Structure 1
Amino acid sequence: MSDIIVIGGGIAGISAAARLSTDARVTLFEMEDALGYHASGRSAALFEQNYGQPSTVALNRASAEYHRTAQGGYLSARGLMIVATDAERDAFARDVATMGLEEISMTEARGHVPILAPEVRLAAYHEAAYDIDTDRLIQDFSRTLRGNGGQVITKAAVTQIRQDAQGWTVTANGEEYRAQDIVNASGAWADLVAGIAGVTPLGIVPHRRSMARLAAPGGHDVSGWPMIFGVGEAWYAKPDAGALLVSPAEEDATHPHDAYPDDMTLAEGLARYQEMVSEEVTRPIATWAGLRSFAPDRNLVLGRDPEVPSFIWCAGQGGYGFQTAPAASQLLADLVNGRDTGFDATTQAALTPDRLRL
C-alpha cells in the first residue's frame, strides 16, 4: 500500500511525486508508455519569469534558482522579442508594459532576427528568457522519486477510483492499488479523474495549441535567434534543433484526447507569421498539437480538495507547467504535509482549490 498515488506522469505529476516521496511512499500512474507524453511532450519549453498570472509569476520567480542551479542547471540562453507593425502600436505598448520588455531599434531587432519584413516597425526585447531542458528535468524528478523508494507505473490507465474508511482503491489495467491520498495531476483529464473518484470537478478545460516545424528560413543559422512573438500572442516562433517552430498560439477549448493540429488554424497562424518575415514559409517538416488546461480563472490549482481533503489537486498548469514545476511541486508537498510554504496569503489564495468551490 502506498501513502500517496499520483495520477498523471507529465511534469506536474512527476515533480509532485518526487517532492512528496521525501516524506511518503509514492506510486505514480501514467496511462502512456512514457512520462511527459501529452502536454509536457509538446511544450514550447521557455522560462520567462514575467509570463502568466500574478500567482504564476510568483511560482516562476520561486522556481528560477532551481532551474538555474539544480543538477547543474536546466536553462540555456534564448531571449524573447516582440515585433509589430505601426498599426499594432497600441497593442505592442501593452505587451511591452505587461512583460517588462525594453523597446529596441529595428537595426537591433534585425541583428537578432535578420529576416524581419519591412512592415515590422516596432520591436522589444528581453534577454532573460531561457530554453528549459525539459527531458532532463522530467528524468531527474523521476530519479528522485525512485531513489526515495517510489515507483512509476506506465501504460496504467486508471478506470476506477473508490474511497472507503481506510482510504482509496485505484484500479489501473485490471489491478487494484491502495493509498491514503490521491494527487490528481492528470492535465487535460483532471476533471474526468475527479469525476471517476466521485469528487466535484473544478471546471478545468483543455485548450488545443497547434505547432509546425519549419526548415530554417533561407538557410539561416537560427540557433542564436530569440523566441519571437506577434502582439497579443497572435503567433510565435522559436528555434529548435536547427529548425523553427511556429505556432498560431490558439486556445481552442476541446475535450481530453491525444491532440492533433487543426489545419485551417495552423495555416492562419503561419500566414500571420509570414506577414512579419521576408522569407517564404516552406512546407512544414512536421505538425502537431498539445492541450493546455486551464481553471476558470487561469490560475494553477494546488492543494487538498475542500470537500474531500484526501483528494489533492495538482492541475490547471495552462502551459506554465515546466517553468513553475520546481516551486509548484514544493508548495504542494508543503501543503500536504502541513508546512509553511513561504508564499504570501494572496498567492496561496489564488492557487487553492477552495476558490473554485465558492
Structure 2
Amino acid sequence: MDRFDIVIVGGGIAGASLGAEVARVRRTLLIEAEEHPGMHSTGRSAAFWLESYGGAGVAPLSTASHDFLSRPPADFADEGFLSPRGAVHVDQSGRADAFAGIAAVVKTVPMSRAELEAAVPGIDSRWVQARAEPGCADIDVAGLHAAYLRQFRRRGGVVRTNARMVAAIWSGDSWRVRLEDGGEIEAAILVDAAGAWADQVAEIAGVAPIGIAPKRRTMVQLRVGRSGIARLPQVIDAGGSFYFKGEGERSVWISPHDEIASGPCDAQPEEIDIAVAIDRFERAVDWPVEAVERSWAGLRSFAPDRLPVFGFDIAVPGFFWFAGQGGFGIQTAPAAAKLAAAVLLAEAPDPMVAKIDPAAYSPARFSPR
C-alpha cells in the first residue's frame, strides 16, 4: 500500500494550486478521475479576472491574487497570466442603485453615453447608464493550471490520472483510500477538491455533504458582422442576463449568465441556452450574427451561501474541504491556495493572505448551532 501525508481528490485548478502549496512540506498525492487534470470546469473557464465578480465575500481573495497573477514569482513562471481587457457594466433600468452591488466591492468609473458608444460601438440605446471597471483582465487559464502542476511535481508531488476514488475509510488517525483500479493508499489527510463532485466525494468518505451545488454555464462563440473587436471590453449586464467580450477580429464570446441546476457530469450546451445567448446578444448590440462558431458548457459549483469552503470538516477532522469556488476559482486560486494551505498545515499565513480571515470560509459555518 502506498503511503502519503496528504491525498488530494481532483486535479483542476483547486487541487493543483493547493497541492503546489502543501507539497513543499508534506508528501502529497493528487488523484484525478479523468485522463487529464482540468478537463471539466478549469478547462472550460471564460478566463477573466474581475475584481467585482463574486461579491464582497469573494473580493478579498480576488484582490489578493492579482499581483501573483500579474507578476508571479520567478520560480513559478517566466511571465504573468493576465492581459488587460477592461470591463463595462451596463444597465437599462435607470435605477440609481443599479450598480450598488458592484460599488460595494470596487471603485468604478461613470461613463457618458458617448463614452459607452465609443467603447462598445453599436450598443442599443436602451442601455441608459454604464460604469467602467478598468482592471478587468483575461487570464491564461491553461498556463496557470500547467504552472501549478509543474510546481507541484517539482516539490515532490505525485499525480495519478484515471484514478477514481471509490472508497475512503477513516480510522481515527488515517485514511485508507481505494481506487477504481484496485489500488490502495494510506494518508493522514484527505482533501476534497473535486469541484462539482465535492459532495459525492464526501459521501464516499462517509462525511456529511454540505450542499455544494453544480450549476451549468453556457458559452457561445459567435461570428458577427463587425470587425476589429478582438480587444472589445468585457460587457456585463448589471441585471445579470449576459456578458460578452471580443475574442477575434470578428468573433465574440457570449454567455447568457445561466446557472442551471445539474448533477456532476461532463456538461454540454443545450440548444435552448445557445438560442437565449444569441437573443440577448442581439438585444444588446446591433451587430448581425453570422454564425455560431462553437459552443460549450461548464459546471460552476456553489456552497449554499455562495462563498468557497476551505477547512477541516467538524465531524471528521482528517477530511479537508477545498470546494465551492463557483465561477471565481481561477481568479482567486493563488490566495485561496495559500489561505487553505495555512489552515491545513497549521502554519502562519503567507503575507499575501495575512489580512484575510479564514473563518469566513470554514465549513463550520454550516454546522447546526
TM-score of the superposed pair, with normalisation by structure 1? 0.94
Matched, 1:200 2:208: yes
The answer as to whether partners of 1:29 and 1:153 remain within 8 angstroms in 2 is yes
Matches within 5 A, 1:67-216: 67-70=69-72, 71=77, 72-85=79-92, 87-90=93-96, 92-94=98-100, 97-98=103-104, 99-165=106-172, 167-172=174-179, 173-215=181-223
Structure 2 residue identity aligned to 1:31: A
Query: Alpha-carbon deviation of 1:231?
Result: 2.2
Mark the CA change 1:153 to 1:241 in structure 2 (over 3 Å): closer, same or farther.
Answer: farther
Encode CA deviations 1:67-123: one digit per residue, 9 max, x unaligned: 1110221111000012233x4545634355345322212222222221312333322
The answer as to whether partners of 1:96 and 1:102 remain within 8 angstroms in 2 is no
The answer as to whether partners of 2:225 and 2:290 remain within 8 angstroms in 1 is no
Matched, 1:357 2:359: no
1:266 to 253, 268, 274: 274
Cα distance between partner residues in 2 of 1:303 and 1:190: 13
The answer as to whether partners of 2:13 and 2:145 remain within 8 angstroms in 1 is yes
Cα distance between partner residues in 1 of 2:135 and 2:356: 26
1:287 aligned counterpart, secondary structure: strand
* Count of equivalent residues: 356
Aligned residue number for residue 56 of structure 1: 58
The answer as to whether partners of 1:89 and 1:122 remain within 8 angstroms in 2 is no
Aligned residue number for residue 9 of structure 2: 7
Query: Alpha-carbon deviation of 1:162?
Result: 1.7
1:331 aligned counterpart, secondary structure: helix
- Residue ranges of structure 2 left out of the alignment (5+ in a row): none
Encode CA deviations 1:206-234: one digit per residue, 9 max, x unaligned: 0111111112x224122221111112221
1:264 aligned counterpart, secondary structure: helix
The answer as to whether partners of 2:243 and 2:255 remain within 8 angstroms in 1 is yes
1:284 aligned counterpart, secondary structure: strand
TM-score of the superposed pair, with normalisation by structure 2? 0.91
Structure 2 residue identity aligned to 1:266: I
Mark the CA change 1:165 to 1:309 in structure 2 (over 3 Å): closer, same or farther.
Answer: closer
* RMSD (Å) for aligned C-alpha atoms: 1.8
Is 125-134 or 261-270 further displaced after alignment? 261-270
Cα distance between partner residues in 2 of 1:340 and 1:202: 27
Which of the two has greater helix per residue?
1
- Residue ranges of structure 1 left out of the alignment (5+ in a row): none
The answer as to whether partners of 2:176 and 2:186 remain within 8 angstroms in 1 is yes
The answer as to whether partners of 1:292 and 1:318 remain within 8 angstroms in 2 is yes
The answer as to whether partners of 2:85 and 2:231 remain within 8 angstroms in 1 is yes
1:118 aligned counterpart, secondary structure: coil
Query: Alpha-carbon deviation of 1:152?
Result: 1.0
1:283 aligned counterpart, secondary structure: strand
Matches within 5 A, 1:307-318: 307-318=315-326
Mark the CA change 1:241 to 1:280 in structure 2 (over 3 Å): closer, same or farther.
Answer: closer
Aligned residue number for residue 35 of structure 1: 37
